Amino acid sequence: MRYVGGKFRQAKHVCFELKRRKKLRTRYIEPMMGGGAVFAKAAPLFKEAIGADVVEDLMLFWMAVRDGWTPPIEVSKDDYERLLNEGPSALRGWVGFVASYNGRWWGGYGPKAAGRDYLAESYRSTMKKAAGMTHADFVCCPYWEHEVDANTAVYCDPPYEHTTGNNHSGRKTPEGSSDGIYGTEHFDHARFWVVMEEWVQKGALVLVHEYDAPEGWERVCTTGRVETMNHRGQSSGSRKESLWTRGVA
Q: What is the pLDDT of residues 4-60, one digit of tens each?
A: 555 767 889 999 999 999 999 999 999 999 999 999 999 999 999 999 999 999 999
Q: Give the integer Cα–Cα distance in Å for 230 and 236.
A: 6
Residues sharing a CB contact under 8 Å with residue 156, sequence separation 6 or more, in sequence order: 30, 31, 32, 143, 192, 196, 206, 207, 208, 209
Confidence grade of residue 2 (pLDDT, cut at 50, 70, 90) = low
Helices (H) and strands (E) in the chain, counts: 7, 9
CB atoms within 10 A of CB 247: 17
Domains and CATH numbers, the chain: 11-68+135-245 (3.40.50.150)
pLDDT tier at 248 (50, 70, 90 boundaries)? low
Q: Which of 54, 16, 5, 14 is nearest to 38 (CA)?
A: 14
pLDDT of residue 64: 97
Per DSSP, the three-state class of 128 is: helix
For the entire predicted model, the pTM comes to: 0.85
Predicted confidence band at 218 (pLDDT cuts at 50, 70, 90)?
very high
Say if residue 172's pLDDT is above 60: no
Average pLDDT, the chain: 85
Lowest mean pLDDT among 110-114, 183-187, 190-194, 220-224: 183-187
